[in-house]
């Protein structure tokens, strides 16, 4: 089985991936080791002291460095360190960001990444070629700390260095000095992906350095259909949970038109494999390519599904599939309106739309804005149960025609919402459409209506998702609300404003 | 020999014009192994345009520039070509209190005479176009849409004020890359070119491999005299320069050359780099040349000033001194060596009166914000004027101005007009001692006509640096900003054109056929064909004409 996909290609001519020699090798390895030993020496110091030592390292290289204290609405708070290499004679209005968090996405100590970051800062300073400033960032974690830094960069940070054109997060957490291959993470919030050219550049560079480059959650056998399917499914899943489940760090740059990827060194137990400077050379080469850009990344695709490092499905190919799912609701709605001879009153339809909107807004407000007031589990579930039982009792009160009118209106609105959503966030729209498609068939099937209602219930699905992700349901809801409030992720809004009202309608009419 | 005689002769001839020429070079080590060099050339003479009856010629002042200025009725001209970023926090105040330092790109302001503003703008247009060719810069793009008219006393004048009808016009091109093609015409203005004196060190390759660099040309009138001040300053990262001399590529150092710090885990293969603190800076290595003999026109006064702390040893030819030193150039080339045991210890820099930082806030292609932070590091109050020109496609809303508004004493604002003029914000600010205040305003991003987008539309649009002038005469500029506007998919119109044309062509053929042709049965068609053949028609015409 082949499938509808294409091979990737570098679209922007200016990138010139791996056209220049890389020199981060040989004695630079000794220096990486030196910085790594030094970082290990001060890693157990209190945060401020260790950050001061880290800033000292940047200072000795001759770079300007500063710390950034941050605090979120919760009690969480910490300190990040960043340092700026000003491009010689640069116009000082564009920058490339390199990030090495203290701990990586799995909470492991990222000393390799940090040592590479410092040695790269020292090494890259020797070049005169920079056109964009380079910013080296060491956040305390790749999640909230990095987000706080990116947010502060665009509002209140002490030193800024122009608009950020690209970002690379380095994850080299192994204790060894060697790695087998690299994994590239490319997720973004709300379906915003980095330009495909950035990934293509990295893949090409890795090729030239003889490093295998994989996508997370899959192996190297991309010639197999099953492997490609698995890679795509993993990509869709990661896109849905980006921002909700702690990610690799690159998604924290979403929202400011910054193309970001995370590079992760994998398989580093043995004495064989590539050495750590090879990883540095990958970064060096990618940074040089971004530096070559005269314009912002724009040539290649922003909407794609990757089946492998070199295979992708473009938006033109995958969008019809999401459209089919979301349009099935619309077709069902047209069927309801067309098949009924008697006309529905305009008032019912208008009232239904307004009620659905009000229900959506109310559920969003109740769930997120007053989250502190109703933080207890019983309260939330109680509200949900009350609303559901209200819907069940409404079934008996409403006449059949009215129910049909409500159903048709709800399906129309739901279909349009999903269609719009699929333009921006294919994964979420497709996933939601796929789960809720039985709701379109409620009046047609004769059996298992209760099962359909149960299976399409947001609470059930979130429960299953929580079980799959191995976290308590309430923690999942909390992170959904956190993502909505802090990272502006729409998923919670989609659940409460689109899915939940539709499901209530399902409860009323089944 | 002949050249010498000519120079001498011209000197004698011109002495009646009261001309003078002076040049000096300041070298100053900055923190973190940087070297600031600042070249200044001042030429002065009586204005030939004002002379009546007497024989007056252009001597030290270049004729080419003088003629351009008089043709454009320009009374005073200031030009800045700059690249890079001045790190005010560690480098302190730029040379001459920042008077000769420009913002990124090219900046020009001039007091232009004219009967009214339109006339002055026509003169400005003429001036910009002439200078554009003269300095090989895109100054001709300084048109109405980027030029602002400021009140005549908004910027400091080095010359005296006269009662002429002068208009102060100012414009900047932040995207202009400054390079050697701008340096060559600059050197041509010097009486000794780059053959003698301190100008011999002005070499494009060295000058432009710096961290920050600025070139300025200032022409002003003092009484009946014309004065041309040319300044070139740059900051060089010396170890970087020395390394590049050895090898232009940053190849890894040989294992034996690594200098490492002592740690308990130190080993042959683990090295925490310890960069040497000692400095040995040889001018002929940094600038690729020795200092040539003095320019004969330059006065006697010391030509070279080295400003360094006492830990620095300065070796000029055979003389060795420590700390700051000044000397004159003789008739022999001379080399200069700056060395120190600890190159990181330098003279304490003068802290600027104010730090101004400007950045964009917000995201999206629709609107944005502009946030400016003013920091007063001193324990005395500072008053300053902040002047900002924003392109017309940034629709500024002054009512959204927020932040520490109590520091603003006065606002002068000219709103932008689409495709006609930029907006101008001029704030008079009083900063309390040791304080940090910020001011923010919001703007909307306009949509441009498709032909208004530059070829590299996705690069973004450069917003010119803002200017801050304190009452003490310190001037500084913010960095330029990159504004990203909504950009159409340029391939789309192209696709649409192709598709439309193809469809049109396909439909047009059949449409024309449908309109013009008639469908008839075959025998009838053949009959018509025979009847309507050309031969028959000519026959019919003949018959009609001659009559059978």
Residues of chain A with CATH 3.40.630.10: 6-309
Instruction: Yes or no: say if B377 and B432 are a contact pair by the CB < 8 Å rule.
Output: no
Q: How confident is the model at residue A497 (pLDDT cuts 50, 70, 90)?
A: confident
Q: What is the mean pLDDT of chain B?
A: 86
Same domain, B70 and B38: yes
Q: Which residues of A fall within a CB distance of 8 Å from B360?
A: 154, 163
pLDDT of A283 strictly over 90: yes
How buried is residue B380: exposed, middle or buried, by Cβ count under 10 Å (0-12/13-18/19+)?
Answer: exposed
Contacts of A298 in chain B (CB under 8 A): 458, 487
Asked whether residue B346 is assigned to any structural domain, the reply reads no
- Give the whole-angstrom CA distance, residue A339 versus residue A333: 10
Distance from CA of A405 to the nearest CA of B (A): 39
Question: What are the tens digits of pLDDT across the range A14-40?
Answer: 999 989 889 998 899 999 999 999 999
- pTM of structure: 0.89
SS3 assignment, position A509: helix
CB-CB contact of B120 with B110 (8 Å): no
Instruction: Say if A13 is an interface residue toward chain B (CB within 8 Å).
Output: no
Residues B45 and B102 in one domain: yes
Q: What is the DSSP letter of B418?
A: T
Q: What is the pLDDT of residue B10?
A: 43
ipTM attached to this prediction: 0.85
Query: What pLDDT, on a 0 to 100 scale, did the predictor assign at position A509?
Result: 82
Residue B474 lies in a domain: yes
Classify residue A186 as exposed, middle or buried by CB count within 10 Å of its CB (0-12, 13-18, 19+): buried
We report the CATH number of the domain holding residue B375 as: 2.60.40.1170
Residue B111 and residue B230 in one domain: yes
- Is residue A90 predicted with pLDDT exceeding 60? yes
Residue B416's domain spans which residues?
Answer: 355-483
B345 lies in some domain: no
Q: Tell whether B272 is within 8 A of chain A (Cβ).
A: yes
Last residue of a domain, one of B438, B464, B483: B483
Chain B (366-405) residues lying within 8 Å, Cβ to Cβ, of chain A:
371
Q: Does pLDDT of B51 surpass 50?
A: yes
Q: Are residues B298 and B401 in the same domain?
A: no
**Per-residue tokens: A237:** 């899943």
Asked if the C-beta of B53 comes within 8 angstroms of chain A's C-beta atoms, the answer is: no
- The secondary structure of chain A in percent helix, strand, coil, rounded to multiples of 5, reads 55, 15, 30
Q: Indicate if B247 and B328 belong to the same structural domain.
A: yes
- Asked, for residue B422, whether it belongs to a domain, the answer is yes
Judgement on whether residues B135 and B116 belong to the same structural domain of the protein: yes
Look at residues B461, B483, B505 and tell me which one is the last residue of a structural domain. B483
- B233 and B313 housed in the same domain: yes
Residue A128 has pLDDT above 90, yes or no: no
* Segment of B276-280, B422-426, B529-533 carrying the highest mean pLDDT: B422-426
Q: Of A481-495, B263-277, B369-383, B509-523, which has the strongest mean pLDDT?
A: B369-383
Are the C-beta atoms of B225 and B162 separated by less than 8 Å?
A: no
Residue B356 has pLDDT above 50, yes or no: yes
Last residue of one domain, picked from the residues B465, B483, B501: B483
B245 & B393 share domain: no
Tally C-beta pairs within 8 A across A and B: 135
The span from the first CA to the last CA of chain A, in angstroms, equals: 40
Residue B348 placed within a domain: no
Instruction: Decide if pLDDT at A345 tops 80.
Output: no
Q: According to the per-residue pLDDT averaged within each range, which of A98-102, B44-48, B53-57 is highest?
A: A98-102
Tell me: pLDDT of B3 over 60.
no
Q: Check residue B16 and give its pLDDT.
A: 55
Pick from A381-395, B263-277, B444-458: least confident: A381-395
Same domain? For B85 and B192 the reply is yes
pLDDT at B11: 43
Pairing of the two strands A212-214 and A181-185: parallel
A242: distance to nearest CA of chain B, Å?
20
| Nearest partner of B22 among B328, B298, B291, judged by Cα | B298
User: In this structure, are B293 and B407 located in the same domain?
Assistant: no
Interface test with A, best of B32, B482, B490, B495 (most A CBs within 10 A): B482
pLDDT of B2: 38
Can you give the pLDDT at residue B8?
A: 42
Please check whether residues B61 and B142 belong to one and the same domain: yes
Q: Is the pLDDT of residue A386 over 90?
A: no
- Average pLDDT score over residue span A437-441: 88
Residue B329: what pLDDT?
87
**Domains in chain B, number:** 3
CA atoms within 13 A on the CB side of A111: 19
Whether residue B88 is contained in a domain is answered as: yes
Amino acid B5: pLDDT: 40
Question: Does B278 lie in the same domain as B401?
Answer: no
For A225-229, A277-281, B137-141, B489-493, which range has the lowest pLDDT when averaged over its residues?
A: B489-493
Flag whether residue A298 sits within 8 Å of chain B, measured between CB atoms.
yes
Q: What is the homologous superfamily of the domain A6-309 according to CATH?
A: Zn peptidases (3.40.630.10)
pLDDT over threshold 50, residue A412: yes
């Amino acid at each position: 089985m082949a499938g509808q996909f294409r091979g990737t290609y570098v679209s922007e001519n200016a990138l010139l991936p791996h056209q220049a020699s890389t020199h981060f090798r040989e004695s630079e390895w000794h220096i990486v080791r030196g910085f790594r030993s030094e970082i290990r020496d001060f890693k157990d110091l209190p945060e401020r002291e260790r950050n001061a030592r880290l800033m000292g390292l940047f200072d000795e290289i001759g770079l300007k460095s500063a710390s950034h204290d941050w605090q979120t609405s919760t009690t969480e708070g910490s300190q990040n360190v960043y340092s700026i290499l000003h491009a010689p004679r640069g116009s000082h209005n564009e920058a490339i960001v390199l990030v090495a968090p203290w701990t990586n996405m799995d909470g492991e100590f990222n000393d390799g990444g940090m040592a590479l970051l410092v040695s790269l800062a020292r090494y890259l300073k020797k070049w005169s070629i920079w056109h964009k400033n380079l910013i080296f960032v060491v956040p305390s974690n790749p999640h909230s700390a990095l987000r706080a830094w990116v947010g502060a960069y665009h509002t209140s940070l002490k030193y800024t260095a122009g608009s950020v054109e690209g970002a690379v997060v380095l994850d080299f957490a192994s204790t060894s000095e060697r790695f087998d291959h690299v994994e590239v993470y490319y997720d973004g919030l709300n379906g915003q992906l980095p330009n495909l050219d950035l990934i293509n550049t990295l893949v090409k560079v890795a090729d030239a350095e003889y490093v295998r480059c994989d996508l997370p959650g899959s192996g190297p056998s991309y010639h197999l259909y099953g492997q490609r399917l698995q890679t795509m499914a993993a990509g869709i899943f990661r896109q849905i949970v980006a921002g909700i489940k702690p990610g690799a760090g690159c998604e924290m740059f979403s929202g400011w038109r910054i193309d970001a990827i995370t590079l992760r060194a994998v398989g580093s137990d043995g004495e064989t494999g590539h050495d750590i400077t090879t990883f540095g050379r990958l970064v060096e080469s990618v940074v040089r390519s971004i530096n070559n850009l005269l314009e912002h990344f724009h040539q290649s695709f922003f909407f794609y599904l990757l089946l492998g490092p070199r295979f992708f499905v473009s938006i033109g190919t995958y969008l019809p599939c999401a459209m089919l799912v979301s349009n099935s609701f619309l077709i069902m709605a047209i069927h309801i309106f067309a098949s009924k001879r008697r006309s529905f009153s305009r008032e019912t339809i208008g009232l239904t739309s307004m009620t659905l909107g009000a229900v959506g807004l109310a559920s969003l407000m109740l769930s997120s804005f007053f989250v502190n007031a109703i933080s207890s589990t019983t309260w939330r579930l109680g509200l949900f149960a009350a609303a559901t039982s209200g819907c069940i009792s409404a079934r008996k009160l409403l006449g059949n025609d009215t129910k049909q009118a409500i159903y048709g209106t709800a399906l129309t609105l739901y279909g349009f919402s999903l269609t719009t959503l699929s333009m921006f966030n294919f994964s979420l729209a497709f996933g939601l459409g796929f789960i809720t498609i039985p709701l379109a068939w409620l009046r047609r099937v004769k059996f298992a209506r209760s099962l359909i209602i149960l299976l399409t219930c947001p609470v059930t699905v979130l429960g299953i998702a929580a079980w799959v992700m191995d976290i308590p349901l309430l923690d999942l809801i909390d992170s959904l609300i956190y993502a909505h409030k802090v990272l502006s992720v729409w998923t919670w809004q989609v659940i409460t404003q689109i899915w939940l009202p539709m499901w209530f309608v399902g409860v009323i009419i089944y | 020999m002949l050249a010498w005689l000519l120079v001498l002769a011209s000197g004698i001839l011109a002495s009646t014009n009261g001309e003078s020429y002076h040049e000096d070079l300041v070298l100053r080590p900055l923190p973190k192994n940087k070297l600031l060099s600042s070249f200044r050339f001042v030429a002065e003479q009586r204005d030939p345009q004002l002379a009546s009856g007497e024989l007056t010629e252009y001597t030290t002042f270049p004729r080419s520039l003088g003629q351009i200025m008089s043709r454009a009725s320009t009374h005073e001209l200031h030009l800045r070509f700059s690249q890079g970023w001045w790190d005010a926090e560690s480098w302190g105040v730029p040379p001459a209190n920042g008077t000769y330092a420009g913002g990124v790109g090219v900046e020009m302001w001039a007091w232009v005479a004219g009967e009214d503003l339109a006339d002055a703008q026509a003169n400005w247009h003429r001036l910009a176009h002439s200078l554009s060719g003269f300095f090989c810069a895109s100054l001709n793009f300084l048109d109405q849409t980027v030029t602002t008219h400021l009140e005549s006393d908004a910027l400091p004048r080095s010359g005296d004020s006269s009662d002429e009808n002068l208009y102060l016009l100012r414009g900047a091109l932040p995207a202009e890359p400054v390079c050697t093609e701008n340096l060559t015409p600059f050197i041509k203005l010097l009486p000794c070119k780059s053959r003698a004196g301190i100008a011999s060190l002005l070499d494009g390759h060295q000058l432009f491999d710096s961290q920050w660099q600025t070139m300025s040309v200032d022409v002003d009138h003092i009484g009946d005299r014309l004065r041309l001040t040319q300044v070139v300053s740059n900051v060089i990262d010396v170890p970087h320069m020395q390394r590049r001399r050895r090898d232009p590529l940053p190849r890894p150092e040989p294992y034996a050359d690594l200098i490492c710090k002592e740690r308990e885990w130190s080993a042959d293969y683990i090295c925490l780099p310890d960069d040497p603190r000692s400095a040995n800076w040889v001018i002929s290595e940094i600038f690729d040349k020795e200092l040539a003999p003095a320019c004969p026109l330059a006065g006697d006064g010391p030509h070279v000033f080295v400003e360094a702390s006492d830990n620095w040893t300065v070796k000029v030819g055979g003389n060795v001194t420590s700390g700051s030193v000044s000397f004159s150039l003789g008739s022999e080339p001379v080399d200069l060596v700056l060395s120190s045991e600890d190159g990181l210890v330098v003279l304490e820099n003068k802290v600027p009166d104010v730090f101004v930082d400007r950045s964009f806030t917000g995201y999206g292609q629709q609107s944005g914000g502009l946030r400016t932070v003013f920091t007063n590091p001193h324990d005395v109050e500072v008053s300053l004027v902040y002047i900002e020109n924003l392109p017309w496609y940034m629709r500024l809303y002054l009512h959204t101005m927020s932040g520490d508004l109590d520091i603003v004493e006065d606002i002068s604002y000219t709103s932008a007009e689409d495709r006609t003029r930029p907006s101008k914000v001029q704030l008079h600010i009083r900063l309390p001692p040791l304080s940090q205040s910020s001011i923010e305003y919001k703007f909307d991003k306009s949509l441009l006509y498709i032909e208004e987008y530059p070829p590299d539309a996705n690069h973004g649009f450069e917003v010119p640096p803002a200017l801050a002038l304190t009452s003490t005469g310190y001037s500084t500029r913010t960095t330029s900003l990159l504004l990203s506007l909504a950009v159409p998919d340029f391939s789309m119109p192209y696709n649409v054109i192709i598709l439309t044309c193809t469809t049109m062509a396909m439909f047009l053929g059949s449409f024309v056929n449908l309109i013009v042709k008639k469908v008839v049965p075959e025998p009838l068609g053949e009959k018509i064909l025979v009847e309507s053949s050309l031969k028959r028609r000519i026959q019919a015409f003949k018959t009609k004409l001659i009559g059978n």
